[in-house]
Structure 1
């Protein structure tokens, strides 16, 4: 893979150069991260492809500042301490599983996010909304790709359900095993464009990636028939060039997507509800039966779907929680526990 390639073909944009001085441009070079292992980076420059050690210092900076797949970097090859991560255009990240919420970087400088679901029991509006909010918050263009359309008699129903989540987001029905999928997705796979694929295990992400690549270099696994759930096949993120010149990042399947602080993406996705909420009587309305709540009134009038409102409120609470410091979360949980104990005490006194 040492065939010369232009920076534009790698996805370079003029914005990235703004953070570099003339001296840096003359004394070092820029490269893109195609993969990240625990202790090394897989880099691609104009003239070569190589591995660079990931120095210990990068494990000591905040997680969202560490190098990730898709990042552009400046460095003097094999010179310790020289690597610099250039300003990102977009950054996909989620909250990692576990009791202590920590960001997990998925990919940087992504132009388009293919949100993959399937035309079967895996299809879930709430989950798709999470992916849409993630893409919008990151600044990437979302495209919903519904696989296994050839196996469903109600594929158009799934398309309409997906389109109802956001009217201006493209929805594409594909058979991930068929070469026609590449033609249908071609508008987002031009030379120098970078696409990431996200979706649950078993929806056909890796199969679709293999079809787009044309050489089947990623392994796949089947799904359980009873619930359409799949097993994880992709275990690491890597960026691979497509035959037509675009780049694709395949990511591990996700059982759960915790958004973290994605308030901007949530507000963009539910912009109609956000606008309606401004009509509430009180600025601190919690939309939980509060007096003068415009959202409650809209639900009662039938102009707002109660299920969609519920999903919005859930995502809004999640993003607010992600913005709190550990001390603030501890105080909130302590206050809630105190409230529960008081309710139990009052109930006990009432029953005497």
Structure 2
């Protein structure tokens, strides 16, 4: 297979040459299974081994990564090449850490269905994550067939996604089936993200032209979908392009800088430029153009509340990240001291 089909570029080739040994070959990670991964090379797919430093911590490798393989050494991963973009969230649990979902993606298909799953607030969270990682978001509103009138939900999605393409689709009913393909091309990588049961696997099967992934029914009790995808995997499309499928996310805590909000909330930021104070928090300050827009009915108060809430969440996460790094450094220093003490007693 030609690596260019998978997204290989001259900049990646230069990065590979900088770290590769004479026997090394480049590859892209297709699927990760514990201590090994399935990787795609110019010579086909093969399973490769991971060193422990690439299986945990900040240096963890993820589906979509480009790597160099020590081909002469049982196809062991040597290096992860610099990433062009990333898709990451704050990992679940108490410890403050980043969880990578995919790497080197050009387009993120944010998939939500036109039923009980639809939520402007969830869309805002996905868009913040996508903007922070450097990829381009596209919103796909699935299950348009059973929806009596998709237009109101389409309008609501577009209102919280300025400048983002939004499509109502239903590949089973033949509604907008080619809309996703308009954002794909040979060498381009897309990733599917969204809640469980919104139709990601159905969409992937449609793009691949065959039933690769199982699809699950929606529960009648609450209208929510059931898990069908259990792992992340990269697929090469017959018509060109690459798609990474991901399991449904129950929650999405953004791992992002506050700057990511500038694109997600471009309408709020445009109003903020006219506030009396440069550091206006848009909560109670006099001369706040954003609050004036809410009072005038030109800005949805729920939209402003979401902006303020996400900003506070990102600020708190930033403080927690700093504190976690401080604790990690203190622990590492203590561990080095213990090791020196042990060596001194020998």
TM range (shorter): 0.7 to 0.9
Choose which of 86, 104, 112 in structure 2 pairs with 1:109: 104
1:75 aligns with 69
Question: Aligned residue pairs: how many?
Answer: 323
Equivalent positions of 1:5-154 (< 5 A) are 5-21=1-17, 24=20, 26-59=22-55, 62-63=57-58, 65-77=59-71, 79=73, 83-154=78-149
Secondary structure, aligned partner of 1:309: helix
After superposition, the C-alpha distances for 1:12-59 in whole angstroms (9 at most, x for unaligned) are 122212323378375421111111111112111111211111112224
Secondary structure, aligned partner of 2:244: strand
1:175 aligns with 170
Moved more, 313-322 or 294-303: 294-303
The offset of 1:257, in angstroms, is 0.7
Moved more, 221-230 or 196-205: 221-230
2:252 aligns with 257
- Structure 1, unaligned runs of 5 or more: 330-352
Equivalent positions of 1:250-329 (< 5 A) are 250-325=245-320
Instruction: Say yes or no: does 1:223 pair with 2:257.
Output: no
CA distance in 2, matches of 1:287, 1:161: 23
Q: Give the RMSD, CA atoms, in angstroms.
A: 2.2
1:333 aligns with none
Indicate conservation of the 8 Å contact 2:145/2:175, yes or no: no
Indicate conservation of the 8 Å contact 1:119/1:147, yes or no: yes
CA distance in 2, matches of 1:217, 1:283: 53
Indicate conservation of the 8 Å contact 2:36/2:50, yes or no: yes
CA distance in 2, matches of 1:277, 1:235: 42
Indicate conservation of the 8 Å contact 1:181/1:212, yes or no: no
Indicate conservation of the 8 Å contact 1:52/1:78, yes or no: no
CA distance in 2, matches of 1:247, 1:327: 36
- Please give the TM-score of this superposition, normalised by the length of structure 1: 0.85
Indicate conservation of the 8 Å contact 2:19/2:79, yes or no: no
CA distance in 1, matches of 2:266, 2:21: 43
The offset of 1:277, in angstroms, is 2.6
After superposition, the C-alpha distances for 1:284-327 in whole angstroms (9 at most, x for unaligned) are 43332233433222222333221110111111111112211367
The offset of 1:117, in angstroms, is 0.9
Over 3 Å counting, the alpha-carbon distance change for 1:206 and 1:117 in structure 2 is same
The offset of 1:226, in angstroms, is 3.8
CA distance in 1, matches of 2:189, 2:175: 20
- Structure 2, unaligned runs of 5 or more: 325-346
The offset of 1:152, in angstroms, is 0.9
The offset of 1:188, in angstroms, is 1.8
